[in-house]
Amino acid sequence: MLAIALRLASGALLSTIFAAGAAAHHAFSTEFDAELTGEVRGEVVSVFWANPHIRYDVRVAREDGTAEVWELAPPGNLPTYRREGWHRDTIQPGYIVRASGNLGRDGAKRLYATCIELESGPEKGRRLGCANPTRTETEVAADPNARYTYAPADFPVDITGYWDNRYKFRQTADDLEPKPVPMTDEARAIYESRRFGDDDVLRCMPAGLPRIFGSPYPMEIFNAGTHYLVLSLQDNTPRWIWMDGRSIPDHQPPTYMGFSTGRWEGRTLVIETTRLVPTWLDGTGYPMTGGDETRIVERWTVSEDGLTMDRTMTIHDPLYTEPLVRTRGSQRRSPDGELVESEPCDPNLFYRDLLRRGQLEDYLRRQ
């Protein structure tokens, strides 16, 4: 029988390193009790995988035959989990887990899960977070013989510097060619089922590719030798374009900007991107498959005088019967007075709109 066991004790029941990790958590003291620890065992019923904190809901059977749902809140964030090889599919609904940590304040059925053990699933027996939740280093581990600094590469065209993307700007909404957009039946069904609130950008999630390609916000480009670092001032978004021929790492997760590689063909930089988060192609709601099934090819052609750049994006996605194309331009400009950190996006208006429409409860239920 699935069960719940609560151990009332001092924080000493957890190891010193767990206590240190818990104390560092920014909301720990308001949500959890450092003097109250416990253990929960049950079936995972839902997974909320999002930065900065993931959550697992676990159905626990009590001895009297009733059941209750507990929320497991592991410490750390997605980059922390990625270093441990802890991914979205590591714990899935239906798995049985045993977790220990600090209990929620005021009797809340929540556990600050500093240790989670898998009791079913392909990785049965694996323990997550139990040995190294903070990864604090106190000794120098850098190799004195390694080269950690960047040296610019001798690329055929110099594109470093500040670029204004208002040049040849078009609204990034229904700007894809050809027209009408050649959707498959699956794409059309997704497109026609969209509702207000389905656009993640409205709640301040990153625009990512391919949408940020059409942004009028400026960008700054740095030559780091093995790669270009492109900083878009929309959402202060970094992008790495690898120029050294490397392949996608096996455990590279899908991200909003994906994994990009580049090569020069004359005065044209050709960039290929995959491993993207499934999202929308534009603000009107055309869907994108993402992962390795979506491939984006960009061609940035620099004029002979180096002052302008024509950019073309071609999107290959199985949801469409032929490739889709978006075109834009960029021109050189001094960054004086314009190289300013973008203000953070505030999702307050988005949730106010949902509340005003009477759709907030339904939206939250669907997340």
Compute the distance between CA of residue 40 and CA of residue 74 in angstroms, rounded to an integer. 13
What's the pLDDT score for residue 251? 80
For 92-118, the pLDDT digits (tens) are: 999 999 999 999 988 899 999 999 999
CATH number of 161-335+344-366: 2.40.128.20
Every domain of the chain and the residues it spans: 4-128, 161-335+344-366
For 197-244, the pLDDT digits (tens) are: 888 888 888 999 999 999 899 999 999 999 999 999 888 899 999 999
What's the pLDDT score for residue 58? 96
Of 193, 190, 213, nearest to 289 by C-alpha is 190
Tokens 């040995």, residue located: 131
3-state helix, strand, coil in the chain (%, to 5): 15, 35, 50
Residue 254 scores a pLDDT above 70: yes
Compute the distance between CA of residue 24 and CA of residue 98 in angstroms, rounded to an integer. 23
Residue 83 scores a pLDDT above 90: no
Candidate from 57-61, 119-123, 336-340 with smallest mean pLDDT = 336-340
Q: Which residues pair with 40 in a beta bridge?
A: 4, 99
Compute the distance between CA of residue 242 and CA of residue 226 in angstroms, rounded to an integer. 6
Of 225, 264, 272, nearest to 244 by C-alpha is 225
Question: 3-class DSSP state for residue 70?
Answer: strand
Q: Comparing 4-128 with 161-335+344-366, is the CATH topology the same? A: no
Compute the distance between CA of residue 48 and CA of residue 180 in angstroms, rounded to an integer. 37
For residues 286-299, average pLDDT = 97
Compute the distance between CA of residue 249 and CA of residue 60 in angstroms, rounded to an integer. 38
CA of residue 330 relative to chain centroid, distance: 27
For residues 39-65, average pLDDT = 90
For residues 335-351, average pLDDT = 82
What's the Cα-to-Cα distance from 101 to each of 16, 52, 157, 253, 331, rounded to whole Å?
Answer: 12, 19, 55, 28, 55
For residues 303-332, average pLDDT = 97
What's the Cα-to-Cα distance from 337 to each of 57, 333, 340, rounded to whole Å?
Answer: 48, 11, 7
Residue 8 scores a pLDDT above 50: no
For residues 147-157, average pLDDT = 93
CATH architecture of 4-128: Beta Barrel (2.40)
For residues 298-303, average pLDDT = 98
* Predicted TM-score of the model (pTM): 0.75
Compute the distance between CA of residue 20 and CA of residue 57 in angstroms, rounded to an integer. 25
Percent of the chain with pLDDT over 70: 90
Candidate from 157-166, 167-176, 316-325 with smallest mean pLDDT = 167-176
- Listing DSSP states for 259-300 in one string gives EEEEEEETTEEEEEEE-BPS-BSSTT--B---BTT-EEEEEE
Residue 136 scores a pLDDT above 50: yes
What number of CA atoms fall less than 13 Å from residue 14's CA on the CB side? Answer: 32
Residue 19 scores a pLDDT above 50: no
